């Protein structure tokens, strides 16, 4: 089973890459995890962001496999505890389809992406910088795996 993060936003501070890399390196080998990045569409002062979101959405859809499970990270999604995420992770793995997490651009994602998502997950009700969302996703996936595996990383 392959896991990946498809994220809009090609320029992240070095701390994001460093922190994300620390957690991604801890993922189990069988996840075959990878990060795919899509450049943020240009936005003009007078242009509505809908055109940019649509352009980013087309790029996202072009990179998705029809059989992949898609998890959209969005503030309007369902919040999960770490234990609930571990249970959901077990369900996703049982399904045995590849799994793709999506972080949209600065204005969110198009309706086409929302419709394609199998699940919409909110990391927090707070608005997070995209780089922070990447790091938080990686840490929470590692934590969920550690709960599944009985690893001491997650202490209660």
Q: What is the pLDDT of residues 36-59, one digit of tens each?
A: 999 998 887 766 688 889 999 999
Strand order in the sheet with 34-38: 34-38, 3-8, 99-103, 69-79, 119-122
User: Residue 43: helix, strand or coil by DSSP?
Assistant: coil
Report yes or no on 155 lying in a domain. Answer: no
Dist. CA 86–CA 149, nearest whole Å:
10
Report yes or no on 114 lying in a domain. Answer: yes
14 burial via Cβ count (<10 Å: 0-12, 13-18, 19+): exposed
Report yes or no on 154 lying in a domain. Answer: no
Report yes or no on 85 lying in a domain. Answer: yes
Q: Residue 27 gets which letter from DSSP?
A: S
The percentage of residues in the chain with a pLDDT greater than 90, rounded to a whole number, is 76
Q: How many CA atoms lie within 13 A of 8 on its CB side?
A: 26
Rounded to two decimals, what is the model's pTM? 0.92
pLDDT of residue 154: 65
**Mean pLDDT of the 131-139 span:** 96
pLDDT of residue 106: 87
* Domain CATH for 136: 3.40.1280.10
- Domain total of the chain: 1
Which domain covers residue 37, as residue numbers?
3-149
**Mean pLDDT of the 1-12 span:** 92
pLDDT of residue 15: 96
């Amino acid at each position: 089973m392959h896991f990946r993060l498809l994220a809009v936003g090609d320029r992240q501070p070095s701390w994001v890459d460093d922190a994300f890399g620390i957690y991604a390196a801890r993922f189990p080998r069988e996840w075959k995890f990878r990060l795919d990045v899509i450049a943020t569409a240009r936005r003009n002062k007078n242009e509505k962001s809908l055109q940019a979101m649509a352009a980013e959405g087309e790029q996202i859809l072009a990179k998705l496999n029809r059989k992949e499970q898609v998890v959209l990270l969005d503030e309007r999604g369902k919040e999960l505890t770490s234990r609930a995420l571990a249970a959901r992770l077990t369900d996703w793995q049982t399904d045995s389809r590849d799994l793709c997490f999506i972080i949209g651009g600065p204005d969110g994602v198009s309706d086409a992406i929302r419709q394609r998502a199998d699940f919409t997950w909110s990391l927090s009700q707070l608005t997070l910088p995209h780089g922070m969302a990447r790091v938080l996703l990686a840490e929470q996936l590692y934590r969920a795996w550690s709960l599944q595996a009985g690893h001491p990383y997650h202490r209660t």
